[in-house]
Structure 1
Amino acid sequence: MKKIDMIIRNGQVFDSVNAKFEKKDIGIYQGVFVALDEDTQSNNEVDAEGNYVVPGIIDEHAHLNLYGTIIGANADTVCIPNGITTACDGGTCGASNFEQFYMSNIVRYESTVYSYLNVSTFGNKSLCKHEEDHDPADFREDLIDSLFEKYPQVLRGLKVRMCKETLGDHGISPLHVGIEMSEHLKAKGYHCPVAIHYDDLPENVTVKELFGTMRKDDVIAHVFQTKAETIFDENGKIKDCVWDAKKRGVYMDDCHGRVHWSYPNLQNAFSQSFYPDIISSDLVRVSEYTRPGFSLLYAMSVNSAAGMPTEKILQSVTYTPAKALGIEEKAGVIREGAPADVAILDIRDVKDKTFTDNYGNSISGNKLFVPLMTVKGGRTAYRQIFF
């Protein structure tokens, strides 16, 4: 007889690589997934009958520098209770304050937290209109280099904010400089895509130029945003340059937040089979558990209501963000030998739920993703009292 730490039985287990379910049991021993046989037993058995067992959810873009900035959400309250075992800060910090974030928050959070590094030296501190200086002359490549050398396992890329408030008269040049720095860091062996905040472009930057500049494995956040030039042409069709970027391997990130999407944009895109590769929360302090931002699970429910299939939704918060962050061996999958991070969800069919976006558009919900249990590294970190 073989004794292990935990067996989760009877659940619909999500194969995140192939985006499909299989009813089976899974075992956990000493913090990793292990194979089961007829003689395997555990004093800790969880019955997941009628529910869904998925890899620990990944929130690829949230703002988690708690107290270091006024926008930082608390990963311990927005991640583990929502089945999120891994998160990545969306570039809150630049070279001047990343180490404070690391020492004060990252090493203390229960969820594993990675980070993009903002090319702006002081990062994004307070949601002020002009706070992120994107004058390329002020980018400190020397400091960025030293931080990647010191924290290569934590830093997952560079953040560039592409919008009117940060670009000023610089046009697209901050992105080109960010990509040059990314290429320099990649040549040194670091995982370093560029993740951009796409929003309210100035007149001297076009969607065609922006999407055409992005490389395979880069990330475009807020792809369904509503301001200035969007991903849709005058007839409501997804622009060719957007499709081209997606086809060559640029990750399209819903990066939900409150103001960066609308139901008409989601439904229009989904009707053309254009789905986000990644769904992330973009949570900040003022939006955690406050609609229409609320949480990553809420964003998943919103995308379901707009027409995104459940399997695509679950893949967009597990395996795909793991690939984008370069952590496929550490997160996003349930397989023998991988770290035992699990979210057990009740995916409820609903008919009487109405969702409303930030612009007053409403839609009827069809599914709610309800967290029942979170396992982090083999330890039960959260569990509903009735489960």
Structure 2
Amino acid sequence: MAMTHLTLPRPGGVLETYTVRNAPLPAPAAGAAPQFNRIAYAAVHVVADPFADNDPWLDIAIDWDKTIAFRHYLWDLGFGVAEAMDTAQRGMGLDWANARTLIRHALEAARSRPGALIAVGAGTDQLAPSPEVTIDDVIRAYEEQIETIEAMGGRIILMASRALAKAAKGPDDYARVYGRILAQVKEPVILHWLGEMFDPALEGYWGSGDHDAAMATCLDVIASHADKVDGIKISLLSKDKEIRMRRLMAAGNTTSGVRMYTGDDFNYAELIAGDAQGYSHALLGIFDAIAPAASAGLARLGAGDAAGFHDILAPTVPLSRHIFKAPTRFYKTGVVFLAYLNGLQDHFTMLGGQQSARSIVHLAELFRLADAARCLKDPELAAARMRKVLAVAGVE
């Protein structure tokens, strides 16, 4: 590999000459998608239209062709697509009206590929949280989105609701809302418990600021409607809490068949590999960013090569922890930045101007960690694109 050099900033205004050290992981073989022994969804981003003549902090302009092409890229690597989730900037640039269009396009694309796995986020984001919003308003908002998605043939990921977090007085309100919704869905859903580190408006979800108490309420909801729950994705960035909940579900009389989908972008490799008492499936935003590495690692795991799985995935964990560092809700910037560096889109423009949500020092460290993880598909291209971003920031 030819030596590639560039100047990168470090904290404190220090500049260093950085040399790309690692060749990328080998490209997957063309043809049939890899075989996994875990269900693996990638929560996927949207591609903005950089040439739209609009007010980018206020207006939504999506490049539909590039956005759907990225879904095909993930399907080719063996992943399911988790559509219109927080990785797609739901509630941070993508509103319900545009999410509805995105869902329609993505479901049409999935139907063009036999066996393509896709599930779709249904929430209440058409309802602005306020003191006037009632529990019945929340139920109606969920029902509207679910009806729309099911009419298009989509399966549901039941997203956490900011409006419910604002309106609920305690655990009973959560039981009422989820009970009403789960009684109506056509197919089993994936529940989504998104922690306050991802979205501060969701603090106290399930009726308690104590995660153990909240977990007990969530488990009661699952146990009461287990036939309508495929699984639950929890995103609390705590492997201990996920393992505890996974074991409690496995031990329950009615919850033993309910899957755990890890949403832990800090500890995913360990949680997916599992232990003697079980493992987690995956529904992860980081799989958007590290898809080739994740695909290769999961294929190794599926072939019984746990050591090979960890050899590939372990170097990606520091990269993921950096992308998802606090304020965690800005992780989408790093996800899209890697798509740009790797030539999967030809610009670094995001809905809502979110490309400005991370500093140039953060992006420089992301570049270093992506190199260490062998996640730069074409190091020379990545370096050339990194130089352009650096130049805009004043680093020549």
Q: Normalising TM by the smaller chain, what interval?
A: 0.3 to 0.5
Which structure shows the bigger proportion of residues in helix conformation?
2
* TM-score, length of structure 2 as denominator length: 0.46
* TM-score, length of structure 1 as denominator length: 0.46
